[in-house]
């Protein structure tokens, strides 16, 4: 396992999970599952003096890939002959064949890239209307092929496999995924720019990276972790709310024996067990969001891309952010209700200095 990935003092500034940094103090690197479980929920109920709540899985509704279709633009044979000097005649003939329409998504991307790059070399034809239409259509088709490859392909299905994930922890999965995605992003960024087509060696490396990328199963692991964590935190929040309303832990601000145990629970079980599970998910999502932000698409937004990669309903990540924030806030309320100051285990207690 890559324990060297310590996430640089565990600081985070995430637009996906604002305020989730509250959970990151300590950053314990213990071996851990991808999400809190029923046993963890029972411990929360026990320390708060509440009846246990059964953790119910909350599977997401099936989300289809973005509907960005390849254009139906075809270059007529007479016009294609004019492109022969640009080396496009064999490619166009292949594309218009029935076999060409059945290419694997990664090969389809390379094909559309080659055609777009070839058209850009035919400067002497730029004044012709059919040529301008073809250039615009091929630019659209390159992006459509990129989105199709990432969200609706054999590789996209493989990376969503949820059986026997190859890594012990979410941190390890994130580390390997980040490394394997670098070459893929480099190639996709070139395809979306006006760069010439990659050479055969680069294309071969790209295909190899796609295979390794799919083998990480990282998107499936994150999809599962998000669902389980969202369900767990929602249940834990209900238990917290009931405890806050009852006021039995610390009536009139005076801790009972159970109330006095709360701070030890936060410094021990919360810090060493719950916090690492939740914070590793927030870091994984932040890493994925940041890494894919370099891919500049015009047909779908960045948030739509991330949701499509993870096959999540729109708004799910924001919902998770909100329930996690509420979870942290309610621990703080419970501690304050017992006159126990919130510690670094639940909040960044250091106040910013005032400038004169």
Residue 188 class from Cβ within 10 Å (0-12 exposed, 13-18 middle, 19+ buried)?
buried
Residues 6+ apart with CB under 8 A from 239: 41, 44, 45, 48, 50, 53
pTM of the complete model beyond 0.85: no
What number of CA atoms fall less than 13 Å from residue 308's CA on the CB side? 21
Residue 67 class from Cβ within 10 Å (0-12 exposed, 13-18 middle, 19+ buried)?
exposed
Asked whether the beta carbons of 291 and 14 are under 8 A apart, the reply is no
Q: In angstroms, how far is CA 243 from the centroid of its own chain?
A: 34
Asked whether the beta carbons of 321 and 235 are under 8 A apart, the reply is no
pLDDT at 186 over 80: yes
Long-range CB contacts (within 8 A, 24+) of 247-256 = 247/337, 248/49, 249/48, 249/49, 249/334, 249/337, 249/338, 250/337, 250/338, 250/339, 253/337, 253/338, 253/339, 255/338, 255/339, 255/340
Q: What is the pLDDT of residue 78?
A: 62
pLDDT at 281 over 60: yes
What number of CA atoms fall less than 13 Å from residue 315's CA on the CB side? 1
- For residue range 227-252, what is the model confidence (pLDDT) as tens digits? 999 999 999 999 999 999 999 898 98
What number of CA atoms fall less than 13 Å from residue 204's CA on the CB side? 3
Residue 80 phi, psi (nearest 5): -60, -35
Q: What is the pLDDT of residue 95?
A: 64
Q: DSSP label at 27?
A: -
- The shares of helix, strand and coil residues in the chain, as percent rounded to the nearest 5, are 65, 0, 35
- For residue range 58-94, what is the model confidence (pLDDT) as tens digits? 788 888 889 887 776 666 666 666 677 677 777 777 6
The CA distance from 232 to 84, in Å, is 61
Q: DSSP label at 247?
A: -
150 vs 91, 92, 213, 292, CA distance in Å?
23, 24, 11, 11
Asked whether the beta carbons of 193 and 120 are under 8 A apart, the reply is no
Structural tokens at position 193: 């720019």
pLDDT at 322 over 90: yes
Confidence of residue 15 (pLDDT cuts 50, 70, 90): very low
What burial letters (b/e) apply to 26-40, b meaning 16+ CB within 10 Å?
A: bbebeebebbbeeeb
Confidence of residue 127 (pLDDT cuts 50, 70, 90): confident
Residue 180 class from Cβ within 10 Å (0-12 exposed, 13-18 middle, 19+ buried)?
buried
The CA distance from 186 to 60, in Å, is 32
The CA distance from 134 to 147, in Å, is 20
Structural tokens at position 115: 């055609």
């Amino acid at each position: 396992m890559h324990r060297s990935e310590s996430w640089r003092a565990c600081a985070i500034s995430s637009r996906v999970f604002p305020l989730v940094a509250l959970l990151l103090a300590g950053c314990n690197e213990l071996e851990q599952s991808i999400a809190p479980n029923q046993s963890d929920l029972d411990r929360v109920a026990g320390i708060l003096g509440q009846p246990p709540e059964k953790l119910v899985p909350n599977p997401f509704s099936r989300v289809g890939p973005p509907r960005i279709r390849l254009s139906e633009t075809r270059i007529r044979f007479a016009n294609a002959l004019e492109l022969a000097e640009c080396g496009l005649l064999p490619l166009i003939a292949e594309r218009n064949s029935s076999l060409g329409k059945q290419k694997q998504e990664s090969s389809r991307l390379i094909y559309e890239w080659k055609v777009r790059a070839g058209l850009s070399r035919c400067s002497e034809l730029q004044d012709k209307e059919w040529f301008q239409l073809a250039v615009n259509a091929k630019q659209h088709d390159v992006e459509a092929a990129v989105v199709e490859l990432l969200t609706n392909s054999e590789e996209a299905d493989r990376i969503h496999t949820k059986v026997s994930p190859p890594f012990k922890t979410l941190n390890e999965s994130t580390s390997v995924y980040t490394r394997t995605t670098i070459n893929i992003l480099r190639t996709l960024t070139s395809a979306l720019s006006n760069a010439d087509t990659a050479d055969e060696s680069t294309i071969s490396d790209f295909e190899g990276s796609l295979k390794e990328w799919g083998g990480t199963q990282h998107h499936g692991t994150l999809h599962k972790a998000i669902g389980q964590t969202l369900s767990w935190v929602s249940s834990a929040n209900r238990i917290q709310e009931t405890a806050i309303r009852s006021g039995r832990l610390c009536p009139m601000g005076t801790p009972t024996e159970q109330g006095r145990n709360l701070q030890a629970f936060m410094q021990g079980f919360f810090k060493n067990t719950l916090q690492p599970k939740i914070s590793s998910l927030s870091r994984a999502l932040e890493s994925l969001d940041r890494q894919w932000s370099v891919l500049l698409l015009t047909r779908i937004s960045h948030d739509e891309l991330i949701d499509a990669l993870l096959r999540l309903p729109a708004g799910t990540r924001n919902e998770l952010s909100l329930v996690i924030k509420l979870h942290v806030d309610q621990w703080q309320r419970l501690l304050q209700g017992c006159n126990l100051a919130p510690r670094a285990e639940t909040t960044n207690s250091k106040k910013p200095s005032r400038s004169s």
